[in-house]
Structure 1
């Protein structure tokens, strides 16, 4: 199978899992009833009591938001990893998610914010921290010699190290704020920190969809310069690419994708980190569309487990989706590393 076929297979998997999420679970909906409900909602026709509310106000917006969040995180992680040529380069690792978390917890604990105000604070925090990390990583980038590839790798390594340091500091800030909060506020902040789709609604879907409608075309325009940057800075510059401007545009786009996804549902752990490597294993090379589909698959599968399977085991407790991705992401990453080492041996 070629790259397109394998990417299409991932896309088909997203469609199938989306259908499973909407139609099956704790409340089952038949395919004819689903289309009746959807048609009635769009045309203002007769609704099915109970079922219309469950599908249109709970299951469908939750599933759509899961796909959009997975696509945003998958694109963001894949973009960072491709641009910096380092699998550790993802919003989870380099501090962007921590920036969003620190700003959101500050808004909840200190200012008593909720809803859209928390999302706006998370967005501002992610962008602000990203700009700080980028500024730190650019320090000293003009010194020294060597090839453009070595300079590009050094800049990428500085960005990752700066991000790890900033993430550690922001993690301490979050822990301090949690110790100063009362039980109710701390519980609200903790749910947000774990990443949750329990508050999914059409308003959040609309905001994230509008954001992706702007960011995905911008990313498409930067796709060709990104491929040139993979050849090294000197080679890209020789082909007419403005290296620093393109890299800054790529960073801003990747940060905006991660920030909007985090603002919608919190820092869902490991999605951005794992989507790129898993997609690469499936299609055989770095691919942003494959990363997007893989991110959507991860979030959909994790949310289905958290919303429908975990309550059967935990006496009705619905887990945040971030708990599932965090619990399963680390072992899976270790498995990827082990199998990769075996292939290289």
Structure 2
């Protein structure tokens, strides 16, 4: 049996296909994520050794060690993994729906819309952390409604979704800049820090909403993910195969937008994870279809790696993780565009 074509499985009335190579990739990424998580909890201003970490996790550490692990490092590591996973899933869905590797939430306006909602609440209404998070979610949803509504013409075509999304991103980005120019110095600084995308100061209160969203939406994404491959064949073919194209597409958009909005509300608009994770996962898994679980595992590993590197490489001048992902993601985007251009010329 091929590692790529997969093994057919049937449980009750549900059937699926297990891809051994994709499973191997997910396991390898989870192992890498675990290694990065251990590294992130061992190193820092107050380094621990592995024995101290294990003792602390078992409840036998000192008070200071428990504070460092349970209150500072473990929630940060957890947030990095689940936010990265949420962004990876969202990117995989949108890239499949648009049939374009550029179809990710941060390219087509949803992340920018979440940022608009957050800074409106912060600067105009003076809201606190909870209100900013709710504003971020609302902004992402409104941006998605605008993009989807403008792109809808007897259905939604991928190229139209991307082009309109890029336009909406530009408009919302200009609006965000204007709002910042009208803000006071302290408000503008707070908003700019949030807009960079960072895991600094995040605790268990931020973990819970993203974890709940991921637990609820990942199974739905996996169930509907089987239909994404049929939608990629075109609406006419998908309809002939029994797929209700627009309701299915709308449900997938809702899942993706919800994951993006919650992730952005937690950590700010972290760039390029949703763009890069699905493509890297698909290449590793050797799959021509939609790799939801590998994209989730890749997203978690990428964001955690970016956070650990940004903290450790620059020492006391640690960069927010959004700066690191934007720098690396910009290089990846340039490579991706060059590859697409070359393939188009061939």
Q: Aligned-pair distance for 1:199?
A: 2.2
Residue 307 of structure 1 corresponds to 311
- What is the rounded CA distance, in whole Å, between the counterparts of 1:270 and 1:248 in structure 2? 23
> Relative to structure 1, is the Cα distance of residues 23 and 340 closer, same or farther in structure 2, using a 3 angstrom cutoff?
farther
| Aligned-residue offset at 1:318 | 2.9
Give the C-alpha shift of residue 340 in structure 1.
7.0
Tell me how far apart the structure 2 counterparts of residues 325 and 108 of structure 1 sit (CA, whole Å).
24
SS in 1 for 2:46: coil
2:283 is paired with a residue of what secondary structure?
helix
Matches within 5 A, 1:35-74: 35-40=54-59, 47-74=61-88
**Which has the larger displacement, 215-224 or 2-11?**
2-11
Of residues 204, 212, 215, the one that matches 2:214 is 212
What is the CA–CA distance in structure 2 between the aligned matches of 1:307 and 1:326, rounded to whole Å?
15
Q: Is the 8 A contact 2:72 2:203 kept in 1?
A: yes
Q: Distance in 2 between matches of 1:296 and 1:276?
A: 11
2:47 paired residue number: 28
Aligned-residue CA RMSD in angstroms?
1.9
1:28-74 deviation line (CA, Å, top 9, x unaligned): 2233322322232xxxxx65131111111111000000000100001
Deviates more, 1:235-244 or 1:87-96: 235-244
Superposition deviation, residue 13 in structure 1? 1.4
Q: CA deviation at 1:89?
A: 0.7
CA distance in 2, matches of 1:26, 1:280: 37
Equivalent-residue separation in structure 1 for 2:127 and 2:184 (angstroms): 14
Q: 1:280 to 1:186 in 2, by over 3 A?
A: same
User: Does 2:146 align with 1:132?
Assistant: yes
Task: Tell me the TM-score normalised to structure 2 length.
Answer: 0.88
**Structure 1 stretches of at least 4 aligned residues deviating more than 4 Å after TM superposition:** 336-345
The aligned residue for residue 191 of structure 1 is 193
- Of residues 297, 300, 304, the one that matches 1:296 is 300
- Deviation per residue, 1:76-110 (Å, 9 max, x gap): 01110012211111111110011001111111111
State the Cα deviation string for residues 141-162 of structure 1 (Å, max 9, x = none): 26xxxxxxxxx6xx11111111
Structure 1 pair 237–212 and aligned structure 2 pair: CA distance change class (3 A) = same
How far the C-alpha of 1:333 sits from its partner, in A, is 3.0
Distance in 2, matches of 1:133 and 1:340, equals: 24
- Range 229-238 or range 22-31, more displaced: 22-31
Q: Which residue among 116, 121, 131 is the counterpart of 1:117?
A: 131
Return the alpha-carbon distance in structure 2 between the equivalents of residues 227 and 3 of structure 1: 16
User: How far is 1:337 from its partner?
Assistant: 4.9
Distance 2:334 2:147 in 1: 27
The unaligned stretches of length 5 or more in structure 1 are 41-45, 143-151
Distance 1:335 1:13 in 2: 24
2:119/2:191 contact within 8 Å kept: yes
Give the aligned partner of residue 23 of structure 2. 4
Question: Are 1:106 and 2:120 an aligned pair?
Answer: yes
Q: Where does residue 148 of structure 1 map in the other structure?
A: none
Moved more, 330-339 or 279-288: 330-339
Aligned residues: 324
CA contact (8 A) 1:26 1:308 kept: no
> How far is the alpha carbon of 1:302 from its aligned partner?
1.1
Which residue number corresponds to residue 154 of structure 2? Answer: 141
